[in-house]
Structure 1
């Protein structure tokens, strides 16, 4: 066995899990919703999409569950979903998912459905696709190989953050990502620097995300380790400047995740296992030679 690679990100802790609950508004009223793009001929499914203001923002893992895990930013992903009314509350530490009516406030942005609140403490590392720490050109290639048409790894078209990974079992591994709605280069430098300064003085701020759990397994693998990949992907609603600041300063930030239970490629039993898996010690996957 090869030794696990060094984990590039800091300490990550499960603070508390809330009770599953119905949140959201009718999809026609929600600023964010999940959708399916249909083929022009035949009407079959083409792409799973995360929509923001009725524009495709991200392409998600394909329905089959055997294609590689994916979150790919699209050209129409231009909006963040921060709430001005929550800025003061989220500038500090959230200790319980139900504190400060934060969930109620962000519920108005989401499509009606069942959600599981998870409150996490993470120390993120920003990843540039194709460079050190990139899941798509490292662990995913080890499982699926490169894209057989392009001869290249999948590409998310955005920087993103890695925060945690752990073993599910001998044949499966959980990988966690925090994905900004717009790239960090769009952040205001002064605000990032303000958060860095506050974090270096001990302040722990809070970000909010809507999340999906995708469980993907290669049907035919061209990689060396065709294992099952559980992808817990947090799409930031609020906290773009905070995540960049935390990655810059190597400091923790709280993350309130609202896991959309009906929108990922994971069954009810998998979602029920997630809180316990997320509470495990972080560990990288060891691959055979």
Structure 2
């Protein structure tokens, strides 16, 4: 944690925002409605279900094809931000978001690129330990996207915070020359800044099919700007700064939980002790 701003109202009417949160319309006789992150009025990601007892989720959908970076901010974000309000970045990216209350968090992260089903995959490891595999499919949840793990820490004896950075499009869509350019810059000491809209979802299994029925706090950052920077940082083992605009109204967390987040994010990183 570098700095936390004060909660502030950002955004434009939902109908005008390039990114907004929505609930899928339920057809007559249909199943539960999905909670969605929409980009340009297309469903981009399915998110954790509203019940709070279903597993944490960010699942990329077939219509997720767009990044939301701003050319006007590229030069400003090529180096580190020292304050969330530095250079008008919050207001610039706020114009992409639906009107609501957001908590700005300025973080330093060292991303690790994760391929679903392989080493380090939260969905195949920690989530299965608490929820077990999906009872219908007999498999772990599958996010349909590579993603980055950046931080985790204990909340208390029976709860743990996990942090993820989720690209809007897969790293394989990135331009190789831009990734290599950032790798070179980072090797010379440059620390660029990425920007994300974020959710905090607190999930606890009602019936555990796993070995550890602990509460999972999922701090998930959906990248607006910084796809090449995050891949470069993961490849080079270097830090980047991340300006997170945490939506307070669309997160599955209570006011007391949200108030604890800055202090939790400032704690030392610690892996979960399984079987507790």
TM-score category (smaller protein): over 0.9
CA shift, 1:237, in A, is 0.1
Tell me if 1:44 matches 2:31: yes
In structure 2, distance between residues paired with 1:160 and 1:166: 19
Moved over 3 A (4+): 42-45
Q: Deviations over 1:14-58 (max 9, x none)?
A: 000000000000001100000000220168851000000000000
Superposition pairs of residues 69-218 of structure 1, within 5 angstroms = 69-218=56-205
Q: What 5-or-longer segments of structure 1 have no aligned partner?
A: 1-13
In structure 2, distance between residues paired with 1:65 and 1:40: 23
Alpha-carbon contact 1:209-1:237 (below 8 Å) kept: yes
Q: Tell me the C-alpha RMSD between the 2 structures.
A: 1.0
CA shift, 1:148, in A, is 0.6
| TM score, norm. by length of structure 1 | 0.94
In structure 2, distance between residues paired with 1:143 and 1:196: 37
CA shift, 1:264, in A, is 1.1
Alpha-carbon contact 1:36-1:45 (below 8 Å) kept: no
Alpha-carbon contact 1:38-1:44 (below 8 Å) kept: no
Alpha-carbon contact 1:33-1:50 (below 8 Å) kept: yes
Q: What 5-or-longer segments of structure 2 have no aligned partner?
A: none
In structure 1, distance between residues paired with 2:4 and 2:236: 27
Which residue does the alignment assign to 1:273?
A: 260
CA shift, 1:288, in A, is 2.0
In structure 1, distance between residues paired with 2:31 and 2:99: 24
Q: Deviations over 1:190-234 (max 9, x none)?
A: 000000000011000000000000000000110000100000000
Q: Deviations over 1:89-130 (max 9, x none)?
A: 000110000000000100100000000000000000000000
Matched position secondary structure for 1:242: helix
Matched position secondary structure for 1:35: strand
Alpha-carbon contact 1:37-1:45 (below 8 Å) kept: no
Number of positions where the alignment pairs a residue of Structure 1 with one of Structure 2: 276
Q: Deviations over 1:116-170 (max 9, x none)?
A: 0000000000000000000000000000000010000000000000000000000
In structure 1, distance between residues paired with 2:13 and 2:192: 30
